[in-house]
Amino acid sequence: MLSNIRIVLVQTFHPGNIGQTARAMKTMGLSDLVLVNPRRFPDQEASRLAAGAEDVVDAARIVGDLSDAVSDCVQVVGASARLRSQPLPHFDEPETMARSLVELADQDPVALVFGRERFGLTNEEIQQCSHQVSIPANPDYGILNLSQAVQVLSYEVFRAWRQRPESGYQVARPSPGRLPTQAQLDHFHDHLSRVMHASGFLTQPHARTEQQLQALFARAQPNRKELSLLRGLLSSLEQNV
């Protein structure tokens, strides 16, 4: 199950941070590392600072865009030191985020996304996530370097996985159904946007209606069957526009 939890680093500047991230991941049982446009990689510094986690570095995948890194994931959590203007669901506590990721990773890939060393993720990159999370820290000095942030959140994920009850005395809960991938959600939002524009519902080009609806569906977390029903509804409406 831990193999379904992906760490994504966006445009990492120092290759040593990639190695230290790999080390932080391996200590917590994580192995899936994806790099979005790293400045220098492969690099000896990354392997040197991996300190025993060279296998994670060697297996890391390089992609050109964040969407390529997370399109198959059912939950994408962007790590940010500050709240953004996007109305995405926000995990106030890393512990809550970790429980959610671990539960979903039973069946599908999920991702934790970390931005650049100096200024993190852009607003556009945050929009490609389904959720946000921040690490509570000293308000007077809440600065963590990249590998430290990965270590903290990876530890929370590992702890949530380790504390899962394995006995059979739990009351079984009904399955919510498999969640859609990020690519499936993107197709849905594109479809919804087309119908809203064609119907005349969107008349103010600068309104944040589409972002607010995206946040609404992120909070609702429709499963794949429910998303298919919504797509069917949109197709029916599209025929009458």
Q: What count of other Cβ atoms lies within 10 Å of the Cβ of residue 194?
A: 13
**Rounded CA gap, 64 and 188, in Å?**
23
Dump pLDDT digits (tens) for 191-221. Answer: 999 999 999 888 776 678 888 999 999 999 9
Residue owning tokens 């959600």 = 185
Instruction: Say if CB 42 and CB 4 are below 8 A apart.
Output: no
pLDDT digits (tens, 9 = 90+) for 140-162: 888 899 999 999 999 999 999 99
Nearest residue to 70 via CA among 26, 30, 109: 109
Of 211 and 33, the structure prediction assigns the larger pLDDT to 33
Residue 2 falls in which region: left (phi positive, over 0), alpha (psi -120 to 50) or beta: alpha
Domains of the chain: 2-162 (3.40.1280.10), 182-239 (1.10.8.590)
Least confident of 62-71, 82-91, 185-194, 230-239: 82-91
Instruction: Please determine, for residue 169, whether its predicted confidence score (pLDDT) is greater than 50.
Output: no
Contacts of residue 233, defined as CB under 8 A and 6 or more positions apart, other chains included, come to none
User: Which is more confidently placed, 1 or 181?
Assistant: 181
Per-residue pLDDT at 149: 96
* Predicted local confidence at residue 87, as pLDDT: 76
Average pLDDT, stretch 58-76?
Answer: 97
The rounded radius of gyration (Å) of the Cα atoms in the chain is 19
Q: Is the pLDDT of residue 94 over 70?
A: yes
Percent of the chain whose predicted confidence (pLDDT) is above 90: 77
pLDDT digits (tens, 9 = 90+) for 5-25: 999 999 999 999 999 999 999
Q: Does residue 168 register a pLDDT over 50? A: no
- Let me know the angle formed at the C-alpha of 226 by 220 and 228, rounded to the nearest 5 degrees: 130
Q: Tokens representing 46? A: 């990354």
The structure's pTM equals: 0.85
pLDDT at 167 over 60: no
CB hemisphere CA count around 43 (13 angstroms):
16
Instruction: Give the mean pLDDT of 49-77.
Output: 97
